[in-house]
Structure 1
Amino acid sequence: MEVKKIMHYSSSQKILLVGEGDFSFSLCLAKAFGTAANMAATSLDSEDSILHNYSSGSTNLDELEELGCTIVHGVDAHTMSEHTFLKGNHFDRIIFNFPHAGFTLPEHHWFQIELHQDLVRGFLGNAREILGENGEIHVTHKTSYPFNKWEIEKLANEAGLCIVEKVPFYRWNYPGYINKRGHGPKCGRTFPVGESATFKFALDPVGEEKTCL
């Protein structure tokens, strides 16, 4: 079967998507591959919440199911490695786009930044437990202030991961993907991504098996 690709991802990879909102990123990949049989797409929200908060949620979920995607709701990034479905599975790519801990204080406040860091730290620690050999964990994140204060790379190092590559993120590279807020009074609305990048992490190398920056 022909291998199809879009940006950093291909139909030959076993892909896990974490923290999906309206599932438009998952659907973008599935359409590019012509199948979603190699994908598992998860959300923290229940299916009812997805349908209520996102106008495109129902359509996106239906299309993903038709393309063979495994969809799991109620998956917490902090405990996902112990989830009934995910436990014992290993993935080539684990993706979390624009992680956000919700709106408690202004984004520049130190406590709000710590909340975000706790979310990412928990995700990275769990993701490494279900990462396949030579797999990568991808976090797409804003890189301008105050978001650079999250120190994504430092959090990854603390989790026993190293950065393989950091590449600029442009939404237009993913047709049909519309990033959406998942919390607060503007839940379901899009937000400007500004300067953003996809951080690619891998397990710390053993010998010469993996090259890290």
Structure 2
Amino acid sequence: MERWIEHYSSAQKILLVGEGDFSFSACLARAFGSATNMVATCLESQDSLWEKHRSCASHLDQLKRRGCLVLHDVDVYDMDRHDILKWWKFDVIIFNFPHAGHYPWLRERDIELIQMHRSLLTMFFESARVMLNYGGEIHVTTRNDYPYNTWNVEKLAEDCRLVFERESVV
């Protein structure tokens, strides 16, 4: 039986990127009752993930028990060329709260870091675009206050030949 959770269906092939501690993907899998339709990824290696996100253990366990494919060392800059992912097409690709990294000498409002965020999103859009099934969607969650609203996510997507459909505000 197909289950819908907001914008997502258990029948969709879903790719989640930049998952951090995998809490969102685990929550989605729990709501669906299964994760056989999902691939959840993070940039970190398995070892560095444990150091950075100690809370990930239960989330990863839940995902694996529900049949989710979990991949480490997946860079959104070139995920379309990843050894496993390059063969897959998805109905939905989700990138929640993308971030180009934290640097002690940069603040979020510094133009250099804003440019890094824009570059990250542009490369993500280029890579994700070729991984979509016909009619597929890319969902990006960001803040809509300053300085995050200066990233111009909609324009970056349009520059990558994607069509902006809607903005959801919670």
TM-score for the superposition, normalised by structure 1: 0.77
Q: Distance in 1 between matches of 2:117 and 2:133?
A: 26
Q: Secondary structure at the match of 2:115?
A: helix
* Structure with the higher fraction of residues in helix conformation: 2
Q: Distance in 2 between matches of 1:31 and 1:59?
A: 12
Match of 1:63 in 2: 62
What does the per-residue CA deviation read over 1:173-211, in whole Å, with 9 as the maximum and x for residues that have no partner?
xxxxxxxxxxxxxxxxxxxxxxxxxxxxxxxxxxxxxxx
Q: Distance in 1 between matches of 2:43 and 2:58?
A: 19
RMSD value, Cα: 0.8
Q: Distance in 1 between matches of 2:110 and 2:55?
A: 33
User: Could you tell which deviates more after superposition, 54-63 or 120-129?
Assistant: 54-63
Q: Distance in 2 between matches of 1:88 and 1:68?
A: 19
State whether structure 2 residue 4 is matched by structure 1 residue 5: yes
Following superposition, the deviation at residue 143 of structure 1 comes to 0.6
TM-score for the superposition, normalised by structure 2: 0.97
Matched length: 168
Match of 2:127 in 1: 126
Following superposition, the deviation at residue 47 of structure 1 comes to 1.1
Q: Deviating runs (4+, > 4 A) in structure 1?
A: none
Match of 1:94 in 2: 93
What does the per-residue CA deviation read over 1:141-184, in whole Å, with 9 as the maximum and x for residues that have no partner?
00101110000001001100011111114xxxxxxxxxxxxxxx
Q: Distance in 2 between matches of 1:13 and 1:79?
A: 23
In structure 2, runs of 5+ residues without a counterpart are none
Aligned pairs for 1:14-29 within 5 A: 14-29=13-28
Which residue type is aligned with residue 50 of structure 1? L
* Structure with the higher fraction of residues in strand conformation: 1
Q: Secondary structure at the match of 1:92?
A: strand
Match of 1:39 in 2: 38
Q: Distance in 2 between matches of 1:60 and 1:108?
A: 32
Q: Distance in 1 between matches of 2:45 and 2:146?
A: 32
State whether structure 2 residue 140 is matched by structure 1 residue 151: no
Following superposition, the deviation at residue 58 of structure 1 comes to 1.2
What does the per-residue CA deviation read over 1:71-92, in whole Å, with 9 as the maximum and x for residues that have no partner?
0000000010000111121100
Q: Distance in 1 between matches of 2:110 and 2:54?
A: 32
Q: Distance in 2 between matches of 1:135 and 1:157?
A: 15
Q: Distance in 2 between matches of 1:117 and 1:139?
A: 13
User: Could you tell which deviates more after superposition, 116-125 or 49-58?
Assistant: 49-58
In structure 1, runs of 5+ residues without a counterpart are 170-213
Q: Distance in 1 between matches of 2:32 and 2:49?
A: 24
Which residue type is aligned with residue 160 of structure 1? R
Match of 2:47 in 1: 48
